[in-house]
Chains A and B, each alone.
Chain A
Amino acid sequence: MKIWRKTLALGLAATMSLLLVACGAKETPEDTTGTSDTTPTTAAATQAPVKEDITISFMASQDWIQDAELELANKFTEETGIKVDYQIVPSDQYPSLLMTKLNTGECTDIFGGQSGQFDIQTQYNVEKNAMDLSGESWAANVDPLAAAQLTVNGALYGEPIQDVSSVWAIAYNKQIFTDLGLSIPTTYAEFTSVCDAIIAAGKIPVYEAVSDGWHHVLWLPETAVEAEVVSPGLVDKLNNNETTFAENDTLKLILTQIKEMADKGYWGDNYMSNVYADAAKNIASGEYVMVVANQGFGTEVNTLDPSFSADNIGYFVMPLADNQTLNVNPSGPSRFIYSGSKNADAAKQYLAYLASDESLAYLTENVAKFNKLPYSNAPSKYTDTIKDFYSRYPSQGTVFQTAVKYVNPQWMDMGTNISALLLGEMTPEEVLGTIDKTRAEEASAAKDAAWAE
């Protein structure tokens, strides 16, 4: 009896082990089939569009994807049968989530990411994680400046999502400025006088959104172009590790003035909990008078409130540290195809669809903030107000998140530190010191020769 029981137990254990082994082994041939299947389909995809019942997943940060793009996705599904599953992530959580997905090898078929010639290598490691898109039909249409920010060793890895011609500047309510007899400030002192006059009129000068984690950061690296004007060659020195952020007085002054704006009440009471998505609503209501925004902001406000003319929004550069240089940035959110994607052909087909003449025209027409998408085949819709704004600032400088290495990848960390500055937990020197420390960490991890001891 005892032996019979033992034999039964052993038999069961052996069967279980066999099952486990069988389950494990089954994956290998399936995987191999999956891989070998991909190649012929890739070849086919370049000739004829894929028409299958497949779903491509697309992960992006909250403010990057517009309703018009979602509508195009639906049209794409109607035409091809390929579904596009957009996974929109709150902007404060997106960078961590994207990096975790990339680092664990579980990314979506398409992922959104910021372009930047240094960062797409050191942060996203596009040569490993993304597919080379140089051979795609639309690749030659991408604006050369924007393409340079998406290219590594001659290969194009991304497709721009947004208009990069516009710059982050202060969008203001022209009517309120006229009513209060205010003119465009050209120095920080003039800016504070403007803000004081607006507060005296019972309105809040600036709508700022700290809770998103990214918007309030703009004040520093965008106005940092002034630091290059004051100390020519600063960008090169920073990239060659010959100086630091903490050593620069202009950057310190900018941070001091950011804190001063918040302390003086120029950002109102609720800047810590405000979200950027509500900016247009709050400017339209007249409760707030200015906001850091792109040049499509006037149209955005007009879309929300048709009685508010798009031309009632004017623009001027952020005058922190008396900056009067136009802060240009050829990089912006872009689409990348994950190298491990099983639906790469469908994803490529979708990117080609989005970069077609019709789609670009549709996006420009239906997204208020898009004036000129960075493609040679995209239409333009600049207004006189915007032309006037660009012509007002003859000198241009590239913003620090694009010009200086290892700044953009720590954008959200900078956001955390600047909010700590606003709460009085950190000093401007500490914030800049932390930026230097993080840059050094990233540089040494990327084995940057300039940081080698």
Chain B
Amino acid sequence: MNKKKVYPIYFVFGALIIYIVLFVIPSLIGIGYSFTDWSAYSDKLKFVGLDNFKTVFSSDEDYMAIIINTLEFTFITTILKNVLGLVLALLLTKSIKFLNFHRGIMFMPSVLSTLIIGMIFQSILNPATGLLNTFLRSVGLGVFAGKWLVTSELAFGSVMAVDIWRGTGYIMTILIAGILSISTTYYEAASIDGANGIQKFRFITFPLLLPTLATTTVLNIIYGLKVFDMIYALTNGGPGKTTTEVLYTAVFKKFGTGQYAVGTALSSVMFLFMVVIGVFMIKIMTKDEVVE
């Protein structure tokens, strides 16, 4: 290795200082506040130890349900977006007519503002006047017309479905890029060996696409844990107490009622989740990486 080609360490200081001042220190202060009784009602701060975390994990409160909701949302949307994105990516890398048109249509929802999508879907999923139920009734499938966003049974599923619809096109685009980067020589060789489509996918496409899939998974997981706008616009955490409440909507409400300390405790719990999951994902992703 030619040492002269490596930049000196002090080149990183500028970026590092900005990063520390703007990201690391506020995060640490935030975690620090979660051990106090910080609220909008009093200017004085008192150290309360783990009281806020006890509240967060107490069985009398709904925070555990909120944490479980967030994890459930992340898990389900990540899997479905990846699977559907992969299927679409496979279909849209074949030579079909109007290929770019199809790709564009699938990618379109990702470009729209989440809040606008939320409002549009609130109208589409209205049980009485919504487009979906009106359509189902008009084709004689009224039996499937549901109260999408307003019952405990369907609300969370509906919110996840809208989010999957919005996010699949984005994942598909990344996977298309991944598929197109696979050399065609592998497929030609496989064809000569008599491999069918499924075998080509299983032994060529899928293994070579794994690094891309790992990237999309990480993106989805981070998005899922941080989801806010979609839930806020569609149900605002309802119906009822915690049907679709996730961490960020709960944190937002806590800040809204001036209970900053509990809000920061919730954020700290989420931060911990993201660190654990992040480290775990990086380990998996870099497992087979060859260091040159």
Contacts and interface: CB of A to CB of B under 8 A. Distances in A.
Interface of A: 9, 13, 16, 92-93, 95-100, 102-104, 122, 125, 210-211, 213, 269-270, 272-274, 416-417, 419-420, 422-423, 425-426, 445-447
A438 B36 CA distance: 20
Contact of B241 (A103, A213, A273, A426): A426
Contacts of B42: 445, 447
Interface string B228-241: 00001000111111
A100 B151 contact: no
Contacts of B126: 273
B256 A416 contact: no
A96 B147 contact: no
B256 A97 contact: yes
B127 A269 contact: yes
B238 A273 contact: no
B240 A425 contact: yes
Given A9-B11, A273-B127, A423-B151, A445 B39 contact: yes
Nearest to B18: A20
Given A273-B128, A445-B42, A16 B236 contact: no
A419 B240 CA distance: 5
Q: By CB atoms of chain B within 10 A, which of A96, A269, A270 has the most?
A: A96
Given A272-B150, A446-B41, A420 B240 contact: yes
B257 interface: yes
B258 A99 contact: yes
Given A93-B236, A445-B41, A423 B257 contact: no
In order of increasing CB-CB distance, the 7 nearest A-B pairs are: A96-B256, A272-B150, A420-B240, A445-B41, A270-B128, A99-B256, A420-B241
| Main DSSP-derived SS at the B contact region | loop
B128 A100 contact: no
B257 A99 contact: yes
A92 B236 contact: yes
A157 B97 CA distance: 67
A423 B239 contact: yes
Given A96-B252, A100-B256, A445-B41, A272 B232 contact: no
Contact of A423 (B128, B240, B258): B240
A16 B257 contact: no
A273 B132 CA distance: 14
A417 B14 contact: no
Contacts of B256: 95-100, 103
B75 interface: no
Contact of A93 (B40, B41, B232, B257): B232
B152 interface: yes
B10 interface: yes
Nearest to A122: B41
A96 B257 contact: yes
Contacts, number: 83
A124 to B, nearest CB: 10
Contacts of A92: 236
A425 B152 CA distance: 9
8 contacts: A13-B14, A96-B257, A98-B256, A213-B236, A269-B127, A419-B239, A420-B240, A447-B42
Interface residues of B, number: 30
B57 interface: no
Given A9-B10, A211-B150, A423-B152, 6 more contacts: A13-B14, A103-B40, A269-B127, A270-B128, A273-B128, A423-B239
B258 A272 contact: no
B149 interface: yes
Interface of B: 10-11, 13-14, 39-42, 126-128, 147, 149-152, 232, 236-241, 252-253, 255-258, 260
Contacts of A422: 240
A450 to B, nearest CB: 16
B123 to A, nearest CB: 10
Contacts of A211: 150
Given A9-B11, A272-B151, A273-B150, A419 B128 contact: no
A103 B238 contact: no
Contacts of B232: 93
A335 B128 CA distance: 35
Contacts of A416: 237-238, 240-241
Nearest to B249: A96
A125 B258 CA distance: 11
A233 B138 CA distance: 57
Contacts of B10: 9
Q: By CB atoms of chain B within 10 A, which of A9, A16, A122, A416 has the most?
A: A416
A419 B258 CA distance: 23
Nearest to A421: B240
B243 to A, nearest CB: 8
Given A93-B232, A100-B256, A103-B258, A272 B11 contact: no
Contacts of B241: 416-417, 420, 425-426
A272 B147 contact: yes
Contacts of A274: 128
A445 B37 CA distance: 10
Contacts of A425: 152, 240-241
Contacts of B147: 269-270, 272-273
A423 to B, nearest CB: 4
B40 A99 contact: yes
Nearest to B255: A100
A92 B260 CA distance: 21
Contacts of B40: 99, 102-103, 125
A206 B42 CA distance: 44
A446 B41 CA distance: 6
B15 to A, nearest CB: 11
Nearest to A273: B150
A208 to B, nearest CB: 12
Nearest to A211: B150
A104 B258 CA distance: 10
Given A269-B127, A272-B150, A103 B255 contact: yes
B149 A273 contact: yes
